[in-house]
Structure 1
Amino acid sequence: MSLKHFDVTADGEVDLKITPDGAASAEPITVMQRFKETVEKVGDRPALCVSRDGAWQQWTWRDFYEDVKMAGRAFIKLGLDAHHAVGIIGFNSPEWFIADLGAIFAGGFATGIYTTNGPEAIEYVVNHSKTQIIVAEDKKQLDKILQVHQNFEHLKAIVLYNDTVPDVECTVPILDWDEFMRHGADVPDFELGHRMSVQKPGQCCMLIYTSGTTGNPKGVMITHDNVTWTSATLAASLPNMTFGKEHIVSYLPLSHIAAQILDMHAPMILGATVWFAQPTALKGTLVQTLQEVRPTVFLGVPRVWEKIEEKMRAVGSETTGLKKKIGTWAKRKGLDGAYAIQQGRPVPSGWGVAKKLVFSKVRKALGLDRCKFFATAAAPISKDTLEYFLSINIPIMEVYGMSENTGPQSLNIPGKHRTGSVGLPLAGTELKIHEPDQDGNGEICFRGRHICKGYMYNEEKTRESIDAEGWLHSGDIGRVDEDGYLYITGRIKEIIITAGGENVAPVPIENLVKENCPIISNCMLIGDRRKFLSLLVCLKSEVDPETTAPLDELTPQTIEILEAQGSKAKTVTEAMDDEHVLKYIQAGIDEANKHAVSRAQKVQKFKILPRDFSVPGGELGPTLKLRRPIVVKQYEELIDSFYA
């Protein structure tokens, strides 16, 4: 009898891939059981800390557990049914954690909603997940919810956790946080206990919404075993961790799997303390929090590391004289020493002096002097940035994975680290390269207890991703070297992953721009590993009837539209720098941007190309499918100029 590898129903259960021995042989456990174990071990130690009104407020692990149970009872009283969702939208906070775990305790699904989502995107997630209760941070988020709340099919209540409830019309009750936490006081403990006890490790407890190439996000169903096994295995992989003594700063979006595992569930394994950054963390206050907290583990998406690098380079450029010479010498020793350590060779002479004079001071200035594990994930990072930090003895470990495998699939760790690779497979997981080419490159596939239950209510997409043998097909291209290190070499999917780690489906945005700007024939979104989205634009022009190659002459319809805008352009060449043309295209992009589900999905810059995409030009394939890598290569200098 074959194992049941996936199930897309809300209450279904999958078979667990438990092995006779090794990391995957661990006894399956639910989130509630894991939480209780931690409370029994370190109940009086601090679990959560948040700075409010100039002082740090603290929850011990026991306080945290009791608040989660209170939230669970309140959700039951508000009408949360088993296997339905609680949607949470807001910046990281103790209330976010309490609502998330309270939903799970009550038998529901914790479902994060990105704070940058617009009303339409919120409406889709809320209805698709059958969300019955929304927990929102403030009036700003509430305003978006109220714009579409009459379209919600299952909503029973809204909870506001960091603001007062405004006097507004709403079809469901709106409670403030204190009122919510008191709301379930008369729900018996045994009712909550029953909700907790009937849940199985192979059932869903969390939904992570991830973008697809055709628009609407898919709801990745994460089981109890996915969460508890993966976070425990990850924690066991980290270097020199001491139970009850670790410190983590929470600032990355909790609607993303990386923050869910590193901020919420791994600390539960480690009995660690989670310190919440300010909502302005990514606008400049993160380093201040790091200096106060001095975390022992720190994860930054590439854009965070890039921002730190930019500031440090700016400071370095102002340094002069002997101090500059020492810094330059130290960084050279640092990079040589870092690669020596990776390769098992002795560090160069002077490395110890450089560490004492420069590296230790840099770490202290950043608040990373206690940090044992520096990591990056969620998007690719440039080798230049990795080597910059290597040169100052901050070895950033790349971690690779996706929502569908509960976060980490492979990772570098101190002692097992190769810059440029995404490391070795997580213990207890399997990895293979599907149909490798002559260079060993093929689709990266993985299997194990970390693979999700499927995409909620979407069996077709689930079958496309998880095959009959339980292998998850990532859509990424990679190779494995002779020592087992994985290298990412490409991406099958067209999904753009920005430098900030947000997934962007390009086709819907491109189509929307074309809809709002009828002079555009083709356009291509740029933004992979970049700070923002930009657009390459092709105008509608005449085509050589024999070769089908695009000509410089604009089509009559295009000329007519442009004349109405005050332009005299008759050719692509004339239109490229015509202010009337540029203004018209910008207006179309602005209109398309109004439909963006988040700020990260708005187009910031564009450029008209000298010719349209075509089969003869190589930009289009035989079926007229856009060959994105070819276009990127053709216009590499132009693309780089967007971000210079």
Structure 2
Amino acid sequence: MSDTQTLIENRPPSVAVLFAERVAATPDAEAFRYPVPSASGQGPDEWKSLSWSEAAERVHAVAAGLIGLGVEPEDRVALASATRIEWILADLGVMCAGGATTTIYPSTNAEESAYILADSESRVLIAEDAVQLAKARERRAELPGLRHVVVIDATGVEPDAADPEGWVLTLAELEARGAAYLAATPGAVKERVGAITSDQLATLIYTSGTTGRPKGVRLPHDNWSYMARAIGASGLVNADDVQYLWLPLAHVFGKVLTSGQIEVGHVTAVDGRIDKIIDNLPVVQPTYMAAVPRIFEKVYNGVAAKARAGGPAKYKIFRWAAEVAREYAKAGQDNFRRTGTRSVPFALSAKHKVADALVYSKLREAFGGRLRAAVSGSAALSPEIGYFFAGAGIHILEGYGLTESSAASFVNPGEAYRTGTVGKPLPGTEVRIADDGEILLRGPGIMQGYHGQPEKTAEVLEPDGWLHTGDIGELSTDGYLRITDRKKDLIKTSGGKYIAPTEIEIQFKAACPFVSNIVVIGADRNFCTALIALDEPTVLGWAKENGLDGRSYAEVVAAPATRELIQGYAARVNEGLQRWQTIKKFRLLPRDLDVEHGDLTPSLKLKRPAVEREFQHLIDEMYQGARES
């Protein structure tokens, strides 16, 4: 048995134990950084730190406070909050109390929040602020089992005569109660942690889903303990790293990053404010961070737009540098596969050096100047965008997993990463490809099942432990996985041809810097069409230079010149497709797709049925009287 296997197989029963081990090993080392807005609200944020021992003091106070509120092992405690330091401390507090965290996105409406609270039978809700409290108050009659609401930020919280006595308290009050409880019963939290078993429920994450009601995915303590050890054993991160964590912690991708940090012991800077990412990067100077593909697409489009705005000469330099980056990255990866080194031909290396001085170095500075690697997950990243960043010195390591597999089933292996793949399985995870191309997974990261839904569980989880992912993929001879599409998203045209819309959409995004989102249509039709949403800042920048200055986004996308612009990119993409895959017609949408309108899940996955329903009139237009093939 290898050292890695031994390490993973001898994992502790819970992350609560891992956390205790981490605190004991490096009590004074920095664990977290978090921003505190300036008193005036005008100047830059002040960043503060917590050592592992300081974090433990607060975690144990939360845990003891919850025990004092009557939380028993496996009782659900819901967390409805954006990503912030208190989210992590509260989640660890729930686990150290033996409870189980139910995650709720702060953007979830009152109706769905109430459904999750009721379905999970959550006893306590930790709410970020007055907005999240108001949702619980609105649906209080439907939540007889909800005994308390703990508010993190009490600004604007007013007493409500309808609240049961003691129903609302602040996080500060909970921690103060916990400290008093520990003073009277010093061993209370340690006793709870010691009693946790590996199969005890730790987290209940409701998949936002692209259709229907969300399902609660039951993830026991052993899932996270395994993930922590497997991430540590992968060698992707080390104790000297600084992670910038802004991903939603209600999502499994964000959640798994905290487990890996506890195992490795590096610093995490926590701030979930999306509008602060650009400001934070030069301050935090992360060595690694995780993101979803849309972020990298937006950065790429933004850089291209800025170059275009600088005039024809600057834009020409950018396009040349982008091609050099891709060529350099492809050559380096190909050579590494053959020889184990990333050497490239001298002439290409010389061009790359010039392009680095002109373009890439500025891009790296925007990311803080120290970014060693970025992990991308949740959806597929265009290989062309991946190669661009790789060639620019920002190595994007794609990974793959599901909520049902605790997020990180595959990840690209550091130096040996291959753009366009999601890498190799984490140590201890098994994979096989079914006859129909579906990816099946088995291992310690797989869920127990869907909460209260044995029939739904049986649909995806076989008795011998194999999980049906619903994704279609291919394995290389040396174990690298490439995702080709969602099984349910495959299109069969009326001519009997199967089409993977995601592949076409990825190619279109890579070719056209103006595209924000695209939905390829074609099921049971005799040709393919597309609904296209444009990136507002990018297309308005183009409009300003092309006689459409001062017009709104909706007016710009309705203009014939804009349609002609996108038609040119469509023609270019179609040249590389099979005849039955080509996009014969498209419509530009009057707005971008977003979470608020229900077009995307909170993790920015496309809800195809929802988009098709809303814009059915545009789809009908494209196929009305059509005879194309």
Mapped to 1, the partners of 2:31 and 2:517 lie a distance apart of: 36
User: 1:598 and 1:362, CA in 2 relative to 1: closer, same or farther beyond 3 A?
Assistant: closer
Mapped to 2, the partners of 1:417 and 1:392 lie a distance apart of: 15
**Residue 494 (structure 2) aligns with:** none
Question: Superposition pairs for residues 303-318 of structure 1, below 5 Å?
Answer: 303-318=294-309
Matched, 1:170 2:163: yes
**Residue 203 (structure 2) aligns with:** 206
Secondary structure at the residue paired with 2:250? coil
**Residue 387 (structure 1) aligns with:** 387
Mapped to 1, the partners of 2:251 and 2:449 lie a distance apart of: 17
Kept in 2, the 8 Å contact 1:294–1:367? The answer is yes
User: 1:273 and 1:20, CA in 2 relative to 1: closer, same or farther beyond 3 A?
Assistant: closer
**Residue 481 (structure 2) aligns with:** 486
Q: Which amino acid aligns with 1:490?
A: D
Secondary structure at the residue paired with 2:268? strand
Shift of 1:414: 3.0
Matched, 1:423 2:423: yes
**Residue 225 (structure 2) aligns with:** 228
Normalising by structure 1, we get a TM-score of 0.72
Question: Superposition pairs for residues 228-307 of structure 1, below 5 Å?
Answer: 228-239=225-236, 241-243=237-239, 245-262=240-257, 264-277=258-271, 279=273, 281=274, 283=275, 285-307=276-298
User: 1:396 and 1:73, CA in 2 relative to 1: closer, same or farther beyond 3 A?
Assistant: same
**Residue 332 (structure 1) aligns with:** 323
Secondary structure at the residue paired with 1:87? strand
**Residue 46 (structure 1) aligns with:** 30
Kept in 2, the 8 Å contact 1:397–1:411? The answer is yes
Question: Superposition pairs for residues 26-37 of structure 1, below 5 Å?
Answer: 26-37=10-21
Kept in 1, the 8 Å contact 2:329–2:387? The answer is no
1:384-428: CA deviations, max 9, x gaps?
322332342323121111011111111213332222221111122
Shift of 1:360: 5.6
Identical aligned pairs, as a percentage? 28
Shift of 1:135: 0.8
**Residue 191 (structure 1) aligns with:** 188
Q: 2:76 aligns with which of 85, 94, 101?
A: 85
List runs of 5+ in structure 1 lacking aligned partners: 1-17, 437-441, 497-526, 539-548, 550-585, 587-591, 619-633, 636-644
Shift of 1:105: 0.8
Matched, 1:216 2:207: no
Matched, 1:130 2:114: no
**Higher normalized helix content (fraction of residues):** 2
User: 1:213 and 1:598, CA in 2 relative to 1: closer, same or farther beyond 3 A?
Assistant: closer
User: 1:610 and 1:230, CA in 2 relative to 1: closer, same or farther beyond 3 A?
Assistant: closer
Mapped to 2, the partners of 1:218 and 1:463 lie a distance apart of: 13
Matched, 1:460 2:455: yes
Secondary structure at the residue paired with 1:112? strand
User: 1:613 and 1:124, CA in 2 relative to 1: closer, same or farther beyond 3 A?
Assistant: farther
User: 1:461 and 1:23, CA in 2 relative to 1: closer, same or farther beyond 3 A?
Assistant: farther
1:494-534: CA deviations, max 9, x gaps?
599xxxxxxxxxxxxxxxxxxxxxxxxxxxxxx98895698
Question: Superposition pairs for residues 55-70 of structure 1, below 5 Å?
Answer: 55-70=46-61
Kept in 2, the 8 Å contact 1:342–1:415? The answer is no
Identify which range, 598-607 or 42-51, moves more after superposition: 598-607
Shift of 1:613: 9.5
Shift of 1:157: 0.6
Secondary structure at the residue paired with 1:607? helix
Kept in 2, the 8 Å contact 1:537–1:607? The answer is no
**Residue 569 (structure 1) aligns with:** none
Mapped to 2, the partners of 1:340 and 1:608 lie a distance apart of: 43
Count of matched residue pairs:
512
Alpha-carbon RMSD: 3.6
Shift of 1:362: 2.7
Shift of 1:158: 0.6
Shift of 1:161: 0.7
Normalising by structure 2, we get a TM-score of 0.74
Question: Superposition pairs for residues 362-401 of structure 1, below 5 Å?
Answer: 362-401=362-401
Matched, 1:179 2:173: yes
User: 1:536 and 1:607, CA in 2 relative to 1: closer, same or farther beyond 3 A?
Assistant: farther
Kept in 1, the 8 Å contact 2:22–2:262? The answer is yes
List runs of 5+ in structure 2 lacking aligned partners: 39-44, 336-341, 492-503, 507-514, 527-589, 591-595
